[in-house]
A and B are shown apart, each in its own frame.
Chain A
Amino acid sequence: MLQINKEGLQTTVQDIGRRGFQKYGVIVSGVMDPYAHRIANVLVGNSETDSTIEITLVGPQLTFLEDCLFSLTGGDLSPLLNGTPIKMWRPILAKKGCKLTFGKPRSGCRTYLAVAGGISVTEVMDSKSTYLRAGIGGFDGRALKKGDVVKSGEVSKYIRTFKEKLAREATDSSFIQVDWTLMTQAIPIYQSEDSVRVTEGRQAKLFDEKSKDVFYNEAFQISSDSDRMGYRLKGPQLTLKEPKELVSEGVAFGSIQVPPDGQPIILMADRQTTGGYPKIGQIASVDLPKVSQLKPGESIRFEKITLEEAQQAMLNERRLIAQLTKSISLKFKEGI
């Protein structure tokens, strides 16, 4: 159980999204950085698909109302526990009364807070994700605000034992961080000007040669007009060979569409279900976290890969997560 003392910029409860309802026009929502979300859950013994709290750029201030095993992953917003800097990407036991706060963003812009047992909120359409515009899901269909008390779910027996062991270790302090973390290659580095992998968009052939060329060779800047729905980019103008009106069709997380002004938009977690602008490319699923962690003003580059490569990368990531899950659960069992 934790209490929000001060709301951050946008602090919401999310899971991997509302799936199966897009045919009714219901958006998927869910976390912006699926990898960080999954790992945060794994680090506290949750299922990968449990809900976490997504924290954006300016973190909230909160108090743990009971002993709580938690983890922070994703963007580094300088987290502090009772004023002491704490480490990310590992389980931490905070004792009752501990205060979690955040400082300046150091890298990335979205942090995931997972608590053992997951966030306990009612599912709407099979998901705990917050759908802000429709005011449903998550915590009362809205972002968390001052005074909210957020409950966590049931904790498994072996996590309870692990928590008790940690609590005994920390008799003299208000919290304890374990001394292990993930292998280096499992912790992403978020940086501006990074290149993200892209497969060819469904309407890529409608663009003129010069546009296709600059798309893969020049940097695009994230505009301040970017949010959970979409990232608007500023860069060289992208134009079609000839003007064309398209019939609206399904879109996906990471679709890069180009409206008539020639400035691309990357569709993100809160995108609409369909769109009518031509799509020049599609971000490879495994690289979506890189995009989600970019802040307005930072830049992005695109690198073309084949569909086979993108799907292979997905499978490799799946294997990595399965491997991490296995070794972390061993750590829980052997204690600290």
Chain B
Amino acid sequence: MEITYSPLGDEAIVIEVGNEISKEATNLVRSITKRIEETLIDSIIEVIPAFTTVTVFYEVTAELQYKDIKKIIEKTLVEMQDFTSLEQRTIEIPVCYGGEHGPDLEFVAKHNQLSVEEVVAIHSSGTYEVNMIGFAPGFPFIEGMSEKIAAPRRTTPRLRIPERTVGIAGIQTGVYPIETPGGWQLIGRTPIDLFLPMEKIPSLLQAGDRIIFKPISEEEYAEWEGTTHAAD
């Protein structure tokens, strides 16, 4: 893939690896992010990895302006060799489907001419991967949902969706880490937190993670709620 550079205003540079969402792009973005964070700590403020771009915010000084940071990044990326051996974590997210936690589960079933049980079976048997974290703290953009359970967004968005709710919008599935307004179809809720403001790494999930959704009962949900979750 060809890498291009362009400025985002006077404090950031965007490294672009393509213009379509793909597994290769996600991996390259992960590798570049890791490489930059490891080699350029002194000149950078922070990075925002997205689907096909890595945005790098840098501290502008008399010696470090756009042309200079571009040169430094080009150099460190040329020296970057292996970008396929990134480890992949698998994280299990327990979900209590339907009922008060998933008021739109029946709509999703009806829309796809399936039973509620079938929707749960399809949703919880998929292999999912996190492409990026964005939109809200710890919010994962997840790839890999079966088109069999796709459903359009609600025509009128809900003003409040409780934190940890699992939803479907089109062919995407996601989990809301904090209470937000939104138009997704809500199919369940997880008892575990995705946003961990008091932790050193405040997001349970990271780009590249593999996700498994595991159905749990109302009782298990109630028992689990409020406890923390360790990634394996």
From B33, B65, B132, contact of A308 by CB (8 A): B65
Interface size class of B (residues with CB under 8 A): 35 or more
CB-CB under 8 A from B173, the residues of chain A are none
Per-position 1/0 for B37-63, Cβ under 8 A of A: 000000001111111111101001110
- In contact, B8 and A247 (Cβ under 8 angstroms): no
- In contact, B178 and A21 (Cβ under 8 angstroms): no
CB-CB under 8 A from B57, the residues of chain A are 19, 252
Residues on A lying within 8 angstroms of B by beta carbon are 19-27, 124-125, 133-134, 136, 199, 202, 247-252, 254-255, 272-274, 279, 282-285, 307-308, 310-311, 314-315
- In contact, B7 and A23 (Cβ under 8 angstroms): no
Q: B138 contacts the other chain (Cβ, under 8 Å)?
A: yes
Query: Shortest CB–CB separation between residue A199 and chain B, in angstroms?
Result: 6
From B20, B55, B203, contact of A25 by CB (8 A): B203
Add 11 more A-B contacts to A202-B6, A282-B8 (CB < 8 A). Answer: A20-B46, A23-B49, A26-B138, A27-B137, A134-B197, A247-B19, A247-B21, A250-B54, A252-B57, A274-B135, A308-B66
- Contact sample, A vs B, 25 pairs, CB 8 Å cutoff: A21-B137, A23-B48, A24-B137, A25-B134, A25-B135, A25-B195, A124-B197, A134-B197, A199-B9, A199-B10, A202-B6, A202-B8, A249-B52, A252-B8, A255-B8, A255-B9, A273-B134, A279-B8, A282-B9, A282-B10, A284-B10, A308-B66, A310-B9, A311-B60, A315-B60
- In contact, B49 and A134 (Cβ under 8 angstroms): no
Most buried by B among A22, A25, A273: A25
Chain A to chain B: the 7 pairs with minimum beta-carbon distance, closest first: A250-B55, A250-B48, A282-B9, A24-B203, A274-B134, A310-B10, A249-B53
A285 to B65, CA, bound (A): 14
Query: Shortest CB–CB separation between residue A126 and chain B, in angstroms?
Result: 10
Query: Shortest CB–CB separation between residue A243 and chain B, in angstroms?
Result: 15
From B53, B65, B66, B136, contact of A250 by CB (8 A): B53
Known: A23-B47, A23-B49, A311-B60. A283 touches B9 (CB 8 A): yes
A307 to B8, CA, bound (A): 10
A284 to B138, CA, bound (A): 29
CB-CB under 8 A from A23, the residues of chain B are 33, 46-49, 133
Per-position 1/0 for B4-15, Cβ under 8 A of A: 001111111010
A202 to B160, CA, bound (A): 33
- In contact, A199 and B7 (Cβ under 8 angstroms): yes
Q: B201 contacts the other chain (Cβ, under 8 Å)?
A: yes
CB-CB under 8 A from B136, the residues of chain A are 25, 272
A314 to B61, CA, bound (A): 9
Known: A125-B202, A311-B60. A24 touches B133 (CB 8 A): yes
A23 to B54, CA, bound (A): 10
CB-CB under 8 A from A24, the residues of chain B are 133, 137-138, 201-203, 206
Known: A124-B198, A283-B9. A247 touches B45 (CB 8 A): no
- In contact, A202 and B202 (Cβ under 8 angstroms): no
From B47, B50, B177, contact of A274 by CB (8 A): B50
Q: Which residue of A lies closest to B44 (CB)?
A: A20
CB-CB under 8 A from A133, the residues of chain B are 178, 180
Which residues of B from 141 to 200 have beta carbons under 8 Å from A? 141, 177-178, 180, 195, 197-198
CB-CB under 8 A from B20, the residues of chain A are 247
A255 to B11, CA, bound (A): 11
Most buried by B among A26, A255, A283, A308: A26
CB-CB under 8 A from A279, the residues of chain B are 8
A285 to B8, CA, bound (A): 11
Query: Shortest CB–CB separation between residue A122 and chain B, in angstroms?
Result: 10
CB-CB under 8 A from B203, the residues of chain A are 24-26
- In contact, B197 and A125 (Cβ under 8 angstroms): yes
- In contact, A285 and B134 (Cβ under 8 angstroms): no
Query: Shortest CB–CB separation between residue A249 and chain B, in angstroms?
Result: 4
Q: B139 contacts the other chain (Cβ, under 8 Å)?
A: yes
A249 to B206, CA, bound (A): 16
CB-CB under 8 A from A311, the residues of chain B are 10, 60, 65-66
A239 to B227, CA, bound (A): 49
From B55, B134, B177, B206, contact of A272 by CB (8 A): B134
- In contact, A26 and B137 (Cβ under 8 angstroms): yes
A250 to B134, CA, bound (A): 9
A132 to B177, CA, bound (A): 15
A314 to B65, CA, bound (A): 11
